[in-house]
Amino acid sequence: IGSGEQDEEIDRDAFTPGIEPQPTWCPGCGDFGVLKALKGAMPEVGRSPDETLLVTGIGCSGKLSSYFDSYGMHSIHGRSLPVARAAKLANPDLEVIAAGGDGDGYGIGGNHFMHTARENHDMTYIVFNNEIFGLTKGQTSPTSPKGHKSKTQPHGSAKDPVRPLSMSLSAGASYIARTAAVNPRQATEIITEAIEHDGFAHIDFLTQCPTWNKDAKQYVPYTDVQQSEDYDFDVTDRREAAEIMHETEDKLHEGEVLTGRFYVDENRHSYGQEKRSTGEMPEEPLAERYFDEDYEWE
């Protein structure tokens, strides 16, 4: 895995499986936008399929690894991050991407999200946020707005939704952005940046679910906070980032969609870098030991 040798120019078709069926997502699903943006980002990053691992959780979003031709693992509900962490620590040369839905990542796997961000593991985490559990047919999710009616909350959710960006910042992620499936150019740029970032890069990716969340916003029109003159803040300043994130999360449920980069810390070491700098982990990929018949395990 991860030879590091690139003989040919990489294009997005390199990540399209030759024998897989077409995606089974519903027409109009925002998940198509994530797949397109991810395929568009990989040539920009310059990593080939054999240098890339995509780990997904369970849900409509979990199918992403079936439609993306790289090393892949369709893992278990809420657990894509521990699998991704282990793979990255065993082979730091591998480009590791984890993905899942808002229920998978912010609910069932919320604990893993918090600690992967806290430890700043070097990977990209894409959360398909459609404010609903889609695959299981429309239950309320952690990002469903207060008052949202579903089969599980027929009288409307009594709970305020989680705040993914603020949660990520307070936990310790070193790159935090929000984009939307309706904005493919920005989505591609943000995924590219996130993959190139050394540390835990979290993307809250707004994806509409026209089948089970018909009342939900389609996330248009949106405002790119880096393009708008109404927003002027320093993405490297934690306090300013916290303020703009809070405003962004409030406005989403008031009908205004803010997207863009909200926080970037290029100086903090990733978990793997820390472990290697103290000698607790070897410089060479641990994975090599498993293939070394002469290696003597202690």
Binding site for ligand SF4 (CB under 6 A): 25-26, 29, 31, 60, 130, 134-135, 209-212
Radius of gyration of the chain from its Cα atoms, rounded to whole angstroms = 19
What minimum distance in Å lies between the beta carbon of 58 and ligand SF4? Answer: 12
Rounded Cα gap, residues 162 and 217, in angstroms: 17
Contact 143, 162 (CB under 8 A): yes
What minimum distance in Å lies between the beta carbon of 129 and ligand SF4? Answer: 11
Q: Give the three-class secondary structure for 222.
A: strand
Nearer to ligand SF4, 211 or 273 (CB): 211
Nearer to ligand SF4, 33 or 109 (CB): 33
Burial 234-247 (b: 16+ CB within 10 A, else e): ebeeeeebbebbee
Give ∠ CA 131-126-86 in degrees, rounded to 5. 125
What minimum distance in Å lies between the beta carbon of 85 and ligand SF4? Answer: 26
* C-alpha distances in Å from residue 67, one per residue of 24, 38, 160, 190, 252: 10, 11, 34, 20, 30
C-beta atoms surrounding 267 within 10 Å:
9
Task: List the structure tokens of 84.
Answer: 């991704």
Amino acid in position 212:
W
Cis amide leading into 27 (omega within 30): no
Nearer to ligand SF4, 188 or 213 (CB): 213
Nearer to ligand SF4, 205 or 263 (CB): 205
What minimum distance in Å lies between the beta carbon of 188 and ligand SF4? Answer: 20
Rounded Cα gap, residues 76 and 83, in angstroms: 9
Nearer to ligand SF4, 103 or 199 (CB): 103
Q: Which residue has the tokens 């405002």?
A: 223
Nearer to ligand SF4, 162 or 209 (CB): 209
What minimum distance in Å lies between the beta carbon of 143 and ligand SF4? Answer: 13
Contact 105, 77 (CB under 8 A): no
Nearer to ligand SF4, 31 or 265 (CB): 31
What minimum distance in Å lies between the beta carbon of 219 and ligand SF4? Answer: 14
What minimum distance in Å lies between the beta carbon of 100 and ligand SF4? Answer: 12
| Sheet (strand 200-206) strand order | 71-74, 52-56, 95-101, 123-129, 200-206, 175-180, 257-264, 222-224
What minimum distance in Å lies between the beta carbon of 35 and ligand SF4? Answer: 12
Nearer to ligand SF4, 149 or 238 (CB): 149
